[in-house]
Structure 1
């Protein structure tokens, strides 16, 4: 039976119910390997599962209990590891994004964050040459960052290994050509810097990531400032350069105001060392 006929056959049934989720789970277990013949069916099944789980989170706890009992998140991981193609990966990211964005109950959220499943998704080697896939991945990062606080950070951050995939994977896109991607990364980093967690700050931010990241930011801003100064001598400065420069300055201000004093002072020191000289150079 084709995917289209299966879903048409079930239109008379309640699309939001435990029975419906059981049927969808059965479909997934019968289609573990994605092919051209069943790809559309798998995509539609993933989309429908997200709808039912959101409904169940708000109306029927047995729906999410079934999701837990069958360890369906692990099935998502297995599906991803089978290299199902970009179309399925996009739907999987969209499904997860919808779940994390709309779940209301803390227990449901904590389950999705447990067992390191999210970090496994984040570190998967997606085909980011596909712009649509990249857009959904960045959207997923942003949604996760909005769920990030002192109660959930331990699901993302491995203190023993000083590993924080949500943060490190996001940094890979901090200089992306698309402004929306850069903005999402900056929003995520600010969410991290707001958290007051000693182990996170000391072993990960201060000792591993803050200085190289801040140094790169200051260098990038420095290059823009130099380009502006060079163009100013010709009498015409590109507006986009000015906009990018202001974006950097606003971002620096946000970091200093949201991060701990130790992180803020580190950034201020780098700004004084590397950037102030560029601004002051024309004076001397």
Structure 2
């Protein structure tokens, strides 16, 4: 029953793509396919075989290439995120998931961005040694189209976004990939220019410390409730960044820990200590960076 329904809907999506007058029909069919795969796998063991046989993922890619309306792409990505959580590893053996990730979406229009980053997060949660082995066995090592490479590169494009949901998703995606513990993936992550991401994190932390320093200095001159709230907000951002860096180190991969540690020392701790050595003042602007250097050292030294 489930296999028959899958065949019907897979044929339906091929026809609906050719009917631009009914864009909602595409989304409805994709939703139906996702529901069939999600609910029918436990009922019909041949479901995924039929899914692969009828190249349903390839049809999903065709949908994105033809339907450029973000009003269709957003719910489409939402259903794909659900779908990804229910597929087997061998569904990653072709480049269809990779092609969806690399699709040139028109970001910044409507609500597409959070749906896309949620899709990336769903994919990252499935990446493991088993999938890496399948990809290498089928395709060999091609960094330009290697799924973890495409996924990581896509996620980093959102690393400077200020929305909390997107920030949390980017961190979850990167941590999921750091935990794969595959030599090929780690080599990619720890090699410039990709490894510059770690130094960028520390540079951002340094800027946040500078902003916090400015807030403290301003409050010293004139205390206001608004200024106090701004100070607490900046402090929360710094603590959040430190927790993320600690999570990266806690993964336990020496190449990642070394990259984070070197960035902290070279771009945050040494510059701040050098600044302290050059000045004879003991005002807040000197004491606050010194405090954070001590805090960071004590926090990470706890293991």
Q: TM tier, shorter chain?
A: 0.7 to 0.9
Residue 175 (1) aligns with residue 160 (2):
yes
Contact persistence 2:90–2:131 (CA under 8 A): no
Equivalent residue, structure 2, for 1:160: 142
Deviation track 1:41-89 (CA, whole Å, cap 9, x = no partner) reads: 1111111111011122111123332222211111111121113411221
Partners of 1:92 and 1:156 in 2: CA distance: 25
Secondary structure of 2:177's counterpart equals helix
Distance 1:26 1:97, change over 3 A: same
- 1:226 matches 2:210: yes
Q: Report the Cα offset of residue 119 of structure 1.
A: 1.0
Asked if 1:50 corresponds to 2:46, the answer is no
Distance 1:200 1:228 in 2: 36
- Partners of 1:116 and 1:231 in 2: how far apart? 49
1:247 and 2:240 matched: yes
Aligned residues: 262
Do the aligned partners of residues 123 and 193 (structure 1) sit closer, same or farther apart at CA in structure 2, a change above 3 Å counting? same
1:120 and 1:226 map into 2 onto residues whose CA distance is 41
Give me the TM-score of the superposition, normalised by structure 1. Answer: 0.84
1:132 alignment counterpart: 111
Instruction: Give 5+ residue unaligned stretches, structure 1.
Output: 1-15
Q: In the aligned structure 2, how far is the partner of 1:277 from the partner of 1:64?
A: 55
Cα distance change of structure 1 residues 34 and 275 upon mapping to structure 2, 3 Å threshold: farther
Q: Note the alpha carbon deviations across 1:84-116, whole angstroms, 9 max, x for none.
A: 411221232122211122x2xxxx512321211
1:197 matched to 2:182? The reply is yes
C-alpha contact (below 8 Å) 1:214/1:267 kept by paired residues: yes
Give 1:30 shift.
1.8
Report the equivalent of 2:224. Answer: none
The question of 1:268 aligning with 2:233 is answered no
Corresponding residue number in structure 1 for 2:296: none
- SS for the counterpart of 1:58 is coil
What are the superposed Cα offsets for residues 196-223 of structure 1, whole Å, 9 maximum, x if unpaired? Answer: 2122222x11223553101111111111
What RMSD over aligned residues (CA atoms) do the two structures have, in Å? Answer: 2.2
> Displacement, 1:32?
2.4
Q: Residues 197 and 25 of structure 1: is their aligned pair in 2 closer, same or farther, counting only changes over 3 Å?
A: closer
1:4 paired residue number? none
Q: Which residue of 1 aligns with 2:17?
A: 32
Normalising by structure 2, report the TM-score: 0.79
Match of residue 201 from structure 2: 217
Q: Note the residue ranges of structure 2 that are not aligned, 5 or more in a row.
A: 220-226, 277-285, 291-303
2:301 alignment counterpart: none
